[in-house]
Amino acid sequence: MARTILHLDLDAFYCAVEEMDNPELRGKPFAVGGRPEERGVVASCSYAARRRGVRSAMPMGRALRLCPDLQIVGGHFSRYREESRKVMSILHEFTDLVEQLSIDEAFLDLTDRPDSDLQLAMNVQAAIREQTGLPSSLGVAANKLVAKIANDHGKGLFSGAGAPNAVTVVPPGEEAEFLGPLAVRALWGVGPRTEERLAELGIRTIGELAAADPGMLTERFGRHGEDMVRRAQGIDDSPIVTEREVKSISQEITFSRDVREEAKLRDQVRRQSERVAGSLKKNGLTAATIKIKLRWPDFRTLTRQTTLASPTDDSVVIEHTAWDLVRKVWYPGKAVRLIGVGASGLGTGPEQLPLFDLFEENR
């Protein structure tokens, strides 16, 4: 029996919450994010702003040039988390098979429900709207891949005022017909560079990719070529994952003005190390690998990491290890735009590398 998989995406979620809290924003071009003078970026933008060319992840300065009357709203992330929890709780009223992808996105498996696919999606959408007031869009298909693409496609067709509130259903057996005309970029795993390489082969649509010679694609792309052909044919048997293992914990900051002073950078490394250690302790984890991230004013970005002799959740160990990595690639006076500290190789092993050994190594 074909599965019934729903992909849920809350429409312009941050903005929708802001509009609930401040109705005067409704219908106006506004963006949630940082100030342009602080190198802020657009975290989310209203549909009125999107019609003016504003997009998420865009520098706020550019957004203001495209839309001079754009209102900038600082993020209220505790409110977003609160509303997200409400939505995810509503989804669990329909099924325990809920895979939360992010604060505003999830998959549901409603295979055993008796209603039609369209009715199921409309029921979920109505429950969210009635209990939270938030708009949402859904894609429905026999697998996660097609449900996600269906939802993205349905939202992309929307051109009216307000939120899309789209519902797009791909019946079982019609996956290839639905996917065929779409651009290859719509597929998971096809980024700009892969899209360019496929275009060089004359492959621009998912249908053309599905009909391509698998051997030729494997020769050009390796195992990824085989996977692309399967996805282009609408084949995906990945299950709903109800719990996800935390693979890394990190903290980073983009400075409003480039920082050159060693004391300021060291202070940020200390603060970030304390937050990373706090997250590790909260989750009962230790980290075997410590990582740093640096970005220079020209946007070149580098990362470095080292594996500890023993896993740790100690902020002092993390700080000294991270700073040692920074010192290997940075010199006093060199401007830094962004700095970050991270931990990976997570587990529940021994708590820390002895400080004596650490300092001996760094002398």
pLDDT reported for residue 36: 86
pLDDT reported for residue 224: 86
> Where do runs of H (alpha helix) occur along the chain?
13-21, 47-50, 60-66, 77-94, 117-132, 144-156, 175-179, 192-200, 206-210, 214-221, 223-232, 262-282, 315-327, 355-362
Mean pLDDT over residues 146-166, rounded? Answer: 91
Percent above pLDDT 90 for the chain: 71
12-50 residue pLDDT tens: 999 999 999 999 999 999 999 988 887 788 999 999 999
Q: Is 174 a catalytic residue?
A: no
> 177-232, superfamily in CATH?
5' to 3' exonuclease, C-terminal subdomain (1.10.150.20)
Rounded to 5 degrees, φ, ψ at 9 are -135, 120
pLDDT reported for residue 29: 96
Buried b (16+ CB within 10 A) or exposed e, 342-353: bbbbbeeeeebb
Angle at 349 between CA 347 and CA 350, to 5 degrees: 140
Out of 18, 37, 105, 360, pick the active-site residue: 105
Pair 42, 60: CB distance under 8 Å: yes
Q: Where are the domains of the chain?
A: 14-77, 177-232, 248-362
Does the pLDDT of residue 354 top 60, yes or no?
Answer: no
Does the pLDDT of residue 127 top 80, yes or no?
Answer: yes
171-211 residue pLDDT tens: 999 999 999 999 999 998 888 889 999 999 999 999 999 99
Q: Does domain 248-362 have CATH number 3.30.110.30?
A: no
Q: Which CATH class is domain 14-77?
A: alpha beta
- pLDDT, mean over the chain: 90
50-108 residue pLDDT tens: 999 999 989 999 999 999 999 999 989 889 999 999 999 999 999 999 999 889 999 99
> What's the pTM value of the predicted model, to 2 decimals?
0.73
pLDDT reported for residue 281: 86
